[in-house]
């Protein structure tokens, strides 16, 4: 029996997580990759963030490859605190169309609304102020309600969570990736964390962080990757780019003296492209471990380590 009444209707999941064949079906997405490590599986019901949609007063998830919104009452992938909030979100007076990113932080829930309507209504503000467990609501970057600044904890380092910022979808996958990265860095003394975000790896590695918008140096690594001269300061480079990958940065890396690259990717397609650059430039893939942090979907997170041939 399916655990979700919306499976096959909502477009969020490709595979039924209750099916005994789930893991085999999900692994088939990686059949042409040289996997070396045992997959890391994430439990259902642990997802701490969800990107909802709304239009014409309807709130929910899109159907697969459609702009039609399926109104939902719960999602078995999500943590209880977000599921308990869904009925309250559904009942809000939504204006226009847009998206609603709901994120469970350490001290409460953050709600980030992006809408075709520039401003929220007074009725929406009144409804937002009554949301259970929610400590901040923003609408197109404007503050609707703030009870407290949301924070997240990375291995003992507390960081303010900017509304709408990237965060690994589960604490389990966040910790698993951090532990694998720490283990792979080995004896490297000077590490750069590229596309560092809020610092899941940065603090634990005592690394120099670089990012467009995060805890490190603000630098657009797509248009201005670290140059060879900058890279040569480091023993090891850690990268966790968005789905677009790190093609420009890889082209600089192969010209540098960096001996080890740890590449965390949420897109196997751009990972393959970038891997081609690294391997043609003298790097050898020594570890490739998949993490099922996008449970139910066709998407995988990839943890990989490249070492330059001597």
pLDDT, one tens digit per residue, over 276-291 is: 999 999 999 999 999 9
pLDDT, one tens digit per residue, over 102-157 is: 999 999 999 999 999 999 999 999 999 999 999 999 999 999 999 999 999 998 99
The DSSP element (H or E) to which 181 belongs, if any, is helix 171-185
Domain ranges for the chain, please list them.
Answer: 1-45+169-310, 49-152
Using only the alpha carbons of the chain, give its radius of gyration. 20
Q: Is 267:16 a contact under the CB 8 Å cutoff?
A: no
**Residues near 24 by beta carbon (within 8 Å), at least 6 away in sequence:** none
The DSSP element (H or E) to which 284 belongs, if any, is strand 283-292
Is the pLDDT assigned to residue 213 strictly greater than 80?
A: no
| Mean pLDDT of all residues in 268-273 | 96
Residue 5, pLDDT score: 87
What one-character DSSP code corresponds to residue 52?
Answer: E
pLDDT, one tens digit per residue, over 46-56 is: 999 999 999 99
Residue 2, pLDDT score: 62
More confident residue, 65 or 220: 220
Residue 160, pLDDT score: 96
- Answering whether pTM is above 0.85, one says yes
Residue 1, pLDDT score: 44
Structure tokens that stand for 133 in this block: 């467990």
Looking at every residue in the chain, the average pLDDT score rounds to 95
Structurally, at CATH architecture level, domain 1-45+169-310 sits in: 3-Layer(aba) Sandwich (3.40)
CA distances to 1, 129, 154, 286, 292 from 168, in Å: 29, 27, 11, 24, 12
Task: Give Cα 197 to chain centroid, integer Å.
Answer: 10
For the 49-152 domain, the top CATH level (class) is mainly beta
63-67, 257-261, 279-283: the lowest-pLDDT one: 63-67
């Amino acid at each position: 029996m399916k655990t979700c009444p919306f499976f096959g209707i909502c477009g969020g999941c490709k595979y039924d997580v209750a099916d005994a064949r789930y893991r085999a079906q999900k692994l088939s997405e990686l059949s042409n990759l040289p996997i070396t490590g045992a997959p890391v599986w994430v439990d259902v019901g642990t997802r701490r963030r969800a990107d909802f949609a709304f239009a014409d007063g309807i709130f929910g998830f899109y159907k697969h490859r459609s702009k039609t919104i399926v109104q939902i009452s719960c999602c078995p992938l999500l943590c209880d605190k977000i599921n308990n909030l869904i009925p309250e979100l559904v009942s809000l007076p939504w204006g226009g169309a847009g998206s609603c990113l709901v994120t469970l932080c350490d001290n409460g829930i953050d709600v980030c609304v992006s809408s075709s309507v520039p401003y929220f209504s007074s009725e929406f503000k009144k409804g937002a102020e009554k949301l259970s467990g929610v400590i901040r609501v923003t609408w197109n970057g404007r503050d609707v309600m703030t009870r407290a600044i949301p924070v997240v904890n990375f291995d003992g380092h507390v960081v303010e969570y900017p509304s709408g910022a990237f965060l690994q979808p589960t604490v389990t996958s966040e910790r698993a990736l951090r532990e694998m990265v720490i283990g792979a860095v080995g004896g490297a003394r000077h590490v750069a964390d590229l596309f560092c975000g809020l610092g899941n790896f940065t603090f634990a590695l005592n690394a120099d962080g670089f990012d467009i918008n995060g805890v490190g140096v603000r630098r657009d690594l797509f248009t201005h990757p670290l140059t060879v001269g900058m890279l040569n300061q480091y023993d090891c480079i850690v990268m966790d780019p968005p789905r677009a990958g790190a093609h420009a940065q890889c082209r600089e890396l192969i010209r540098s003296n960096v001996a080890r690259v740890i590449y965390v990717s949420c897109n196997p397609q751009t990972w393959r492209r970038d891997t081609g650059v690294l391997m043609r430039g003298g790097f050898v893939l020594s570890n490739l471990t998949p993490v099922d942090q996008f449970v139910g979907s066709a998407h995988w997170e990839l943890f990989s380590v490249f070492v330059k041939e001597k």
